[in-house]
A and B are shown apart, each in its own frame.
Chain A
Amino acid sequence: MSSVTLTDIVKRFGSFTAVHKTSLEVPEGAFVTLLGPSGCGKTTTLRMVAGLLDPTEGEIQIKGRRVNDVPIHKRNLGIVFQNYALFPHKSIAENVAFGLKYRNVSKDDTKKRVSDALELVQLPDVGERYPKQLSGGQQQRIALARAIVIEPDVLLLDEPLSALDANLREDMRVELKRIQERIGVTTLFVTHDQSEALAMSDQIVVMSEGRVEQVGPPQEVYNTPASEFVANFLGASNIVPANCMGRDGNTFVFETETLGRIAVPADKAPKGAAAGPAKLVVRAEKLQLAPRDTPADGAVSVDAIVETVDYQGQAVRYFVRAGDRQLQAINMIDERPFAEGAQVSLRLRPRDCAVLPTI
């Protein structure tokens, strides 16, 4: 049974359509991420589930109950906001206990549940303090404790990590996922950060300009993007125009100007792929640079010249020119990176290509 169901949701602001007809199911206990750049409609969608915005059309169900006309305070949701949104005039314990006041919980029970929640977010001793006395990361943990102590039907996370420092953000990511798995609450997470989405989600919903581009588990979305937008938004990709020559046994044969002839395994191509113009997605980290005199070992091999070297420590990003096309390659550094202007050979294993569905 799904916990949150959106059916043909549309949201318009005047003549601007923020979310086009969208349907979505969040399974019970799942961690589903709405991923996209700012203005893609992900936050609007979350706010409609929260009851902070009314959908223009369509139906929202939470646990099988239609909630379109249910105001936010009767939806039993836990929301964590980007800027924590703790009550500055209440102590941490009062903040966490806030939602229990409206749920007929006895005093002793409240005390116990508050301390359990603080224990869960690993801040058991801050109950007497005030929000301003805590760091950003601690405040966000308290915000999470406050949201889950009421045992919400759905936990809504609106970019909860983006106000934190980079290091802290990665720690909190692991922490957040641990807590979510522990209590098993259905979670809808909004972010523009692809690494957060890939690391935490059971399902990723990639959105762009108010439309859903692709829905799937992280590996599927990453490895077989359904559109050029998805391929570019999740990681660095090269989109190579190709011509499909047709099926040959277990492979589809593609003819490209830049990378020559590539025989892609059939399971990498979308269903119903047929001869004709197509687009191949080549992940930057799958494109390897090698000296020209090394053997290709069955990989596609084309000559290229290094144009720009973007050194990143453990890895390096090259911009190389192959024919009349510039390609990106991200390689781990073995000994020393190639220099600008180096004559190299590009290597690509055919099974590392993905084929975009032709529309």
Chain B
Amino acid sequence: MGWSLIRGWTLLVYVFMFLPVAVVVLLSFNASQFGSFPMTGLSVRWFVELAQNDAILRAFRTSIILGLLTAVLSTILGVLASLALVRYRVPGSNLISTLLIAPILVPEVVLAVALLLFLNFLSINKSFMLLLFGHVIFTLPFVVLVVQARLIAIRRDIEEAAMSLGASPVQTFFEVTLPLMLPAVLAGALFAFTISFDDITGTLFWKPGGVETVPTQIFAMLRNSISPEINALGTVMILLTVGLPLLGLAIARQMSAKRGR
């Protein structure tokens, strides 16, 4: 009796969380002018219109470029920071570690305003570079956390064995350390990309005039009217931000299965 109650309640919670998402996906195929029930028929016309909407396409391109650059920069910086913190004795490594993780703990709005004020103080104008800089700051902790955890699990003697066999420290990194931590590095990069792609708070503060990312574009569109195009856009976003990590996970599994682990 008690268990079935808990089961039912859990189910309701999940329904509450995922039903809106399902509704968005469902309505994106609605033929009607109005993005609401009852549905008048199935159609992909909103996807077609989406593909012809220049503003949205521009926003999409911006988001993807921003996401990719964020992922690349965050991953490189995160891997280097993790290596330094785990493999070398850095003075004040605890403090550095905490500072690197801090952006997760500080509310994003505070971080966003702080960075903006700081750059105002330095009289630097808002630019795409600044936006990228902001995104790197708050995706970096995720990369560092994931990569650090993996790096700690890679035993030092494996690297020592490589060096004893004649590989220089750099060769050892590329031959042994990097391949072994690759799943974590890819996971970190994926995290950085999706977080950057999804972000709206920081982006609203930092983006220069005229530049829109997908989330800010949706936000702007919602202020005027609720167009069914937004449902279609939502569906595409869901596909990207959920599908991409799942795909990455599947590839990682495939890779390690081949190694017989």
Q: Residues of A with Cβ closer than 8 Å to B?
A: 50, 52, 71-79, 81-83, 85-89, 98-99, 101-103, 129-130, 132-133, 143, 146-147, 150, 156
Measured in the bound complex, the distance between the Cα atoms of B259 and A71 in whole Å is: 32
Contacts of B261 in A (CB 8 A): 88, 130, 132
Closest 8 pairs (CB-CB, A-B): A99-B165, A102-B166, A85-B161, A85-B157, A79-B164, A130-B260, A81-B157, A73-B163
Q: Output the nearest chain B residue to A149 by Cβ-Cβ distance.
A: B165
Measured in the bound complex, the distance between the Cα atoms of B261 and A101 in whole Å is: 25
Contacts of A129 in B (CB 8 A): 260
Are A88's CB and B259's CB within 8 A? yes
Measured in the bound complex, the distance between the Cα atoms of B166 and A98 in whole Å is: 9
Contacts of A89 in B (CB 8 A): 179-180, 259
**23 A–B contacts, CB within 8 A, in A order:** A71-B163, A71-B168, A72-B160, A73-B169, A73-B172, A79-B160, A79-B164, A81-B157, A81-B161, A85-B160, A85-B161, A86-B158, A87-B162, A88-B158, A88-B180, A89-B180, A102-B171, A130-B259, A132-B261, A133-B260, A147-B165, A150-B166, A156-B164
Rounded to whole Å, the gap between the CB of B176 and the closest CB of chain A is 6
Q: Residues of B with Cβ closer than 8 Å to A?
A: 155, 157-158, 160-169, 171-172, 175-176, 179-180, 259-261
Are B166's CB and A103's CB within 8 A? yes
Rounded to whole Å, the gap between the CB of B126 and the closest CB of chain A is 44
Rounded to whole Å, the gap between the CB of B256 and the closest CB of chain A is 9
Q: Output the nearest chain B residue to A99 by Cβ-Cβ distance.
A: B165
Rounded to whole Å, the gap between the CB of B106 and the closest CB of chain A is 37
**Which of B160, B171, B260 lies in contact with A81, CB distance below 8 A?**
B160
Measured in the bound complex, the distance between the Cα atoms of B258 and A129 in whole Å is: 11
Rounded to whole Å, the gap between the CB of B92 and the closest CB of chain A is 18
Are B176's CB and A83's CB within 8 A? no
Are B259's CB and A79's CB within 8 A? no
A-B residue pair count with CB separations less than 8 angstroms: 78
> A88-B180, A88-B261, A132-B259 are known contacts. Are A98 and B164 too (CB-CB below 8 A)?
no
> A83-B157, A88-B180, A89-B179 are known contacts. Are A73 and B260 too (CB-CB below 8 A)?
no
19 further interface pairs, Cβ-Cβ under 8 Å (given A85-B160, A86-B158, A89-B259): A72-B164, A73-B164, A73-B168, A73-B169, A73-B172, A76-B166, A79-B161, A82-B157, A85-B155, A88-B180, A88-B261, A89-B179, A89-B180, A98-B165, A99-B166, A102-B171, A130-B260, A146-B165, A147-B165
Contacts of A73 in B (CB 8 A): 163-169, 172
Contacts of A150 in B (CB 8 A): 165-166
Q: Output the nearest chain A residue to B179 by Cβ-Cβ distance.
A: A89
Are B161's CB and A132's CB within 8 A? no
Measured in the bound complex, the distance between the Cα atoms of B38 and A262 in whole Å is: 111
Rounded to whole Å, the gap between the CB of A155 and the closest CB of chain B is 11
Measured in the bound complex, the distance between the Cα atoms of B162 and A73 in whole Å is: 8
Contacts of A147 in B (CB 8 A): 164-165
Contacts of B164 in A (CB 8 A): 50, 72-73, 75, 77-79, 147, 156
**Which of B158, B163, B179, B259 lies in contact with A72, CB distance below 8 A?**
B163
Q: Output the nearest chain A residue to B159 by Cβ-Cβ distance.
A: A85
Contacts of A72 in B (CB 8 A): 160, 163-164
Rounded to whole Å, the gap between the CB of B183 and the closest CB of chain A is 11
Contacts of B175 in A (CB 8 A): 98
Measured in the bound complex, the distance between the Cα atoms of B151 and A17 in whole Å is: 30
**Which of B155, B169, B179, B180 lies in contact with A83, CB distance below 8 A?**
B155
Contacts of B157 in A (CB 8 A): 81-83, 85
Rounded to whole Å, the gap between the CB of B166 and the closest CB of chain A is 3
Contacts of A75 in B (CB 8 A): 164
Are B176's CB and A87's CB within 8 A? yes
Contacts of A77 in B (CB 8 A): 164
Measured in the bound complex, the distance between the Cα atoms of B172 and A50 in whole Å is: 16
Rounded to whole Å, the gap between the CB of A150 and the closest CB of chain B is 6
Measured in the bound complex, the distance between the Cα atoms of B175 and A102 in whole Å is: 12
